[in-house]
């Protein structure tokens, strides 16, 4: 998901709509915006579909007045069952004796089921099926006198990954979980401030990037300035390495590094680790593009757009059902036959999950007359599900959970298949010495099976580490 908030600018909701539009790649199912203005109080709008199809209409934006606003774009993860319902669309809102609060959450709470059971037993009435709603109910039960203090209370009980943007009548609040699994950045816009999942959404509103919110940090922003707190026990940060590979936009800056450059470096590492003789390096658009550019640069093999993407389709993987996903690939990608025919082609993609995309693309490329097909993948084999906010299927559906690299190659029917090593990925992400077993500095659980936060709910449901 993507979260965004601004304080201290006129018609803040318009800024939020723009910010969410720039974060649309983080979630395309639905979006929501809440704003506050003294006369009409809190106002909210939640809609299915793209930001640009909803939050551009004057008639809707007029209902969201005020100089303080937050928003959310949703992509549902493994915890949620079936298609998104409008009641699951954030921001969520709660009204307490100490005032109202709206919250938008990116990440996944790993003890949400246990918390929900406990809260329901004690009388909470849940409105949605979302793990994020726990935060509101925990806040409602806190005895603290201010919203930020209640939020600290609530978030100390929550486990897992959370980047939260929240607002009260007068405050914009941002929090990251102690490991800082999901991103969250702070920017300055005019006389006000903005919080965003990624820096690319600061650019779109002309905001200046100030800094990242630190893992375990809470910032409370008012007309008077910014206060910073560290409400949690300090831990070693474990930022999601898959944000670097796929999830974030290439024009964003993560941890002081350009995502585009990290991805290009992945391609360079891949070319060193897994060279092959061929005529053409071709990205699987768009997520494989920077790595393909790096691979071509390092290997000296020409780069070409052998697959053309229809600009009007979303990311396939994010459509929730298998059937839609299966249709998605054909609707989205087509082969540039004139370029492919008779060539030995290296295809660069970001990841292999179920293997559905790779199988289809291989077939398209062979049908177009390619002589050989070599897959090079910009992440290590995805052998474990993510429980921290990226949608991966259960373990048995992950190709790499049941097959070796050679078996996957045979299954996909390609001439060769190689994944970047975990060490190579760390080097590309700026860790010159690779992944040191003593101190991995990213979360890489979907590749290594080493979960930095125990997925309590999943273990209770029988998941084995
Ligand atoms: P597969 O077809 O192997 O199941 O999925 C891999 C494809 O899904 C890749 O092309 C990748 O770009 C895309 N993808 C979209 N969203 C995600 C995600 O959340 N996780 C992973 N691993 N891949 C994703
Ligand atoms: Fe990111 Fe993978 Fe960790 Fe999930 S398991 S947070 S996708 S690195
Ligand atoms: Mg892809």
Residue 356 placed within a domain: yes
Atom of ligand 2 nearest to the CA of 452: 3
* Distance between CA atoms of residues 167 and 36, nearest Å: 9
Three-state SS sequence of 236-285: CCCEEHHHHHHHCCCCCEECCEEHHHHHHHHHHHHHHHCCCCCCEEEECC
Query: What is the pLDDT, as a whole number, of residue 321?
Result: 66
Structural domain contains residue 231? yes
The alpha carbon of 348 and the centre of ligand 3 are apart by a number of angstroms equal to 10
* C-alpha 353 to ligand 1 mean position (Å): 6
Q: Are residues 41 and 175 in the same domain?
A: yes
Q: What is the pLDDT of residue 311?
A: 80
Secondary structure E strands in 328-446: 333-335, 344-349, 372-377, 416-419, 442-443
Residues 54 and 114 in one domain: yes
What is the reported pLDDT for 81? 58
What confidence score (pLDDT) does residue 327 get? 62
Q: In this predicted structure, what is the pLDDT of residue 82?
A: 65
Residue 60 CA, ligand 3 centroid: distance in Å = 33
Q: Is the CB of 301 under 6 A from ligand 2?
A: no
Residue of 151, 266, 154 whose CA lies nearest to 218: 151
Radius of gyration from C-alpha coordinates of the chain? 22
Residue 243 belongs to some domain of the structure: no
The answer as to whether 248 is a domain residue is: no
Q: Is 135 in the pocket of ligand 1 (CB under 6 A)?
A: no
On whether residue 295 sits in a domain, the answer given is yes
Q: Residue 431 is part of which domain span?
A: 254-460
Cα–Cα dist 89/428, whole Å: 36
Same domain, 328 and 204: no
Q: Are 321 and 386 members of one domain?
A: yes
* pLDDT beneath 50, residues of the chain: 78, 316
36 shares its domain with 151:
yes
Residue 352 near residue 408, CB atoms below 8 Å: yes
Coil, helix or strand at residue 20: helix
| Per-residue pLDDT tens digits for 404-425 | 999 999 999 999 999 999 999 9
The ligand that comes nearest to the alpha carbon of residue 307 is 3
Question: Domain ends where: 237, 264, 297?
Answer: 237
Does 164 lie in the same domain as 99? yes
Q: Is 246 among the domain residues?
A: no
Whole-number Cα distances in Å, 413 to 66, 116, 416: 57, 46, 9
Judgement on whether residues 275 and 415 belong to the same structural domain of the protein: yes
d(CA 311, CA 209): 29
From residue 29, alpha-carbon distances to 46, 89, 181, 333 in Å are 11, 9, 22, 21
Q: What is the DSSP string of 441-453?
A: -EE-HHHH---SS
Query: How do strand 192-196 and strand 2-7 relate by DSSP bridges?
Result: antiparallel
Angle at 182 between CA 328 and CA 82, to 5 degrees: 40
Question: Which are the catalytic amino acids?
Answer: 1
Beta-carbon contacts of 320 under 8 Å, excluding residues fewer than 6 positions away, are 29, 76, 82, 83, 84
ipTM of the complex: 0.93
Q: Ligand 2 centroid vs 444 CA: distance in angstroms?
A: 5
Ligand with minimal distance to 316 CA = 1
Residues 6+ apart with CB under 8 A from 378: 245, 246, 263, 266, 267, 270, 288, 291, 348, 349, 350, 351, 420
Among 2, 75, 76, 317, residue to substitute to test ligand 1 (most atoms within 8 Å of Cβ):
317
- Decide if 25 contacts 52 (C-beta within 8 A): no
**Burial of 130 by CB count in 10 Å (0-12 exposed, 13-18 middle, 19+ buried)?**
buried
Q: Cα separation of 89 and 83, whole Å?
A: 11
Q: Closest Cα partner for 266 from 139, 182, 376? A: 376
231 and 264 co-located in one domain: no
- The CA–CA distances, whole Å, from 311 to 308, 331, 332, 333, 375 equal 9, 11, 8, 9, 24
Confirm or reject: Cβ of 303 under 6 Å from ligand 2: no
Rounded CA-CA distance 180/178 in Å is 6
Look at the chain and report how many structural domains it folds into: 2
Ligand with an atom nearest the CA of residue 239: 2
CATH number at 14 reads: 3.60.20.10
Rounded to whole angstroms, the Cα distance separating 241 from 246 reads 9
- How far apart (Å, rounded) are the C-alpha atoms in residues 453 and 76? 20
**Which residues have CB less than 5 Å away from ligand 3 (the ion)?**
287
């Amino acid at each position: 998901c993507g979260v965004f908030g601004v304080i201290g600018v006129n018609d803040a909701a318009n800024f939020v709509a723009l910010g969410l539009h720039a974060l649309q790649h983080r979630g395309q199912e639905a979006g929501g915006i809440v704003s506050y203005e003294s006369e009409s109080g809190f106002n909210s709008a939640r809609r299915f579909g793209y930001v640009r199809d909803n939050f551009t209409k004057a008639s809707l934006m007029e209902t969201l007045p005020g100089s303080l606003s937050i928003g959310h774009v949703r992509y549902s993860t493994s915890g949620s069952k079936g298609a998104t319902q409008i009641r699951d669309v954030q921001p969520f809102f709660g009204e307490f004796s100490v005032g109202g609060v709206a919250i938008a959450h990116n990440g996944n709470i790993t003890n949400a089921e246990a918390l929900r059971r406990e809260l329901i037993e004690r009388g909470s009435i849940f409105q949605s099926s979302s793990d994020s709603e726990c935060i509101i109910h925990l806040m409602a039960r806190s005895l603290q006198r201010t919203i930020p203090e209640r939020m600290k209370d609530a978030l100390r009980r929550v486990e897992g990954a959370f980047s939260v943007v929240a607002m009260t009548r007068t405050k914009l609040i941002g929090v990251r979980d102690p490991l800082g699994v999901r991103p969250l950045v702070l920017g300055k816009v005019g006389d006000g401030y903005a919080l965003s999942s990624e820096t690319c959404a600061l650019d779109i509103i002309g905001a200046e990037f100030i800094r990242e919110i630190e893992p375990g940090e809470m910032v409370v922003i008012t007309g008077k300035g910014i206060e910073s707190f560290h409400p949690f026990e300090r831990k070693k940060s474990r930022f999601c390495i898959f944000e670097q590979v796929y999830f974030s936009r290439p024009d964003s800056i993560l941890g002081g590094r350009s995502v585009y450059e990290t991805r290009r470096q992945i391609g360079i590492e891949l070319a060193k680790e897994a060279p092959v003789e061929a005529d053409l390096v071709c990205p699987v658009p768009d997520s494989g593009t920077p790595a393909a550019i790096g691979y071509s640069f390092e290997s000296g093999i020409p780069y070409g757009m052998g697959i053309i993407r229809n600009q009007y389709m979303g990311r396939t993987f994010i459509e929730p059902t298998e059937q839609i996903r299966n249709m998605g690939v054909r609707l989205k990608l087509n082969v540039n036959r004139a370029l492919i025919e008779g060539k030995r082609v290296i295809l660069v993609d970001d990841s292999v999950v179920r293997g559905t995309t790779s199988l289809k693309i291989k077939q398209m490329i062979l049908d177009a007359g390619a002589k050989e097909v070599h897959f090079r993948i910009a992440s290590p084999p995805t052998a474990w599900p993510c429980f921290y906010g990226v949608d991966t299927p259960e373990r048995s559906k992950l190709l790499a959970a049941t097959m070796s690299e050679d078996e996957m190659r045979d299954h996909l029917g390609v001439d060769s298949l190689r994944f970047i090593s975990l060490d190579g990925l760390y080097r590309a992400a700026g860790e010159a010495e690779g992944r040191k077993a003593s101190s991995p500095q990213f979360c890489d659980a979907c590749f290594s099976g080493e979960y930095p936060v125990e997925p309590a709910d999943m273990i209770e449901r029988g998941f084995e580490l």
